[in-house]
Amino acid sequence: MKEIILLNISGDDKPGVTSAITNILAQFQINILDIGQAVIHDTLSLGILIEVPKAAESSPLLRDILFKAHELNMNIRFQPVDERNYEAWVAGQGKSRHIITLLSRKLSSVQIARVTEIAALHSLNIDNISRLSGRISLSDSCEQTKACVEFSVRGAPADAAKLRSEFLTAASDLDVDIAFQEDNIYRRNRRLVVFDMDSTLIEAEVIDELAKEAGVGTQVAEITEAAMRGEIDFNESFRRRMALLKGLDVSVLERIAERLPMTEGAEELVSNLKALGFKTAILSGGFTYFASRLQDKLGFDYVYANELDIDADGKVTGEVKGVIVNGERKAELLREIAQKEGIRLEQTIAVGDGANDLPMLSIAGLGIAFRAKPLVRESAKQAISTLGLDGILYLIGFRDRDTLQE
């Protein structure tokens, strides 16, 4: 039987602890089977699983490590591991792995307890927990903060739909966002992100703003809401709303563009994506006049939206030029851009809030319903409502320290 020992070293974090311990192991020609280290609030926890060769005796090895730990003022524990248990552990490395991401303004024990309880009930074993967000000062208010913890779990849920439903319920109850993704090579290699514009990149529906200027705000808003809920076909709702805008003077477009508020985290997200080499696109059922403004401001690589038809007198005709950018067209455009850039669909991310975004959300590798209507939240693969758009960076594994600081 081989001698296998698990070393657990803990205490105040300081430079040189790992080096000192592994140097002793090196003197005895020890094989390291596994190693892991974490630091929480300047407290180190180091685990090393070792195989002691027959030529080496564990007694002097453990004695030297014990003396060194005492010298470093660290606590140490030795735990023998049965060879059969070790082989069973090795055999489990082929199991499916998933990432659970918890996003909130501030983390609480209630949130962690609920998420981990659901994971355990579905036989998901937590291998690692990492905080992706930066440190939060006690003086920071909830409105100023964002918090994210990522759980790496082993296993596959027997009922994925039930697991997702329970996470959605928990997210609603606790006012948090919970994402559940397969941990595969595509999750770590996203290359293209496409966005809806209205109520996603900007905190408004442009057509509603146009309607207010035309004095038909209430009528258009009602049609917009019904369309976003999926109660009216997008093309039909779009035609109805456009007809109500007939005669609107083109001069109002600039006024509206100046007052459109950018969504929280939009600039931070897009600037980081661009710096990291992602391709970005706006696929909007809104209008090119406003989407082009965002392209100039944030640097999007592609923009596809509807073009308002303006007559010779500078009035909106109530029609649009070309093909209406509806849900099916958005999905088609996502495929076209991905193919042009040589990117697999599994490497794409789509973000939107309305029912007309569901086709592109469904085919993207990561489809995210952002501050969306219930129907869209329930249908999309993932949903974010608690944080701003920059919370998407957490879903692709980025930590605050990895990103550009504005």
CA distance 107 to 132: 12
Under a CB-based contact definition with an 8 Å cutoff, are residues 153 and 125 in contact? yes
Q: Which of 12, 34, 64, 196 is catalytic?
A: 196
Q: What are the residues whose beta carbons fall under 8 Å from the beta carbon of 334, sequence distance 6 or more?
A: 194, 281, 283, 345, 348, 350, 360, 363, 364
Decide: helix, strand or coil at residue 395: helix
The catalytic residue among 177, 198, 357, 390 is 198
Q: Is 385 exposed, middle or buried (0-12, 13-18, 19+ CB in 10 A)?
A: middle
Report residue 264 CA to chain centroid gap: 15
Other Cβ atoms within 10 Å of 42 Cβ, number: 8
Residue 75: what residue type? Answer: N
CA distance 150 to 349: 19
Tell me if 16 sits within 8 A of 2, measured CB to CB: no
Q: For residue 405, what are its two tokens?
A: 């600081």
Q: How far is CA 236 from the centre of its chain?
A: 33
Q: What is the separation of C-alpha 347 from the centre of its chain, rounded to a whole number of angstroms?
A: 13
The verdict on whether 309 is a catalytic residue reads: no
Token output for 172: 């609603």
Structure token digits, residue 314: 């500078």
Q: Are 58 and 5 in contact (CB under 8 A)?
A: yes
Q: How many CA atoms are closer than 13 Å to the CA of 297, on its beta-carbon side?
A: 17
DSSP-derived pairing of the beta strands 177-182 and 192-195 = unpaired
- Neighbouring C-beta atoms of residue 111, cutoff 10 Å: 22
Has 177 been annotated as catalytic?
A: no
Q: What is the DSSP letter of 372?
A: -
- Determine the Cα–Cα distance for residues 72 and 177; give it in Å rounded to an integer: 42
Give me the residue label for tokens 């439903």. 165
Tell me which residues are annotated as active site: 196, 198
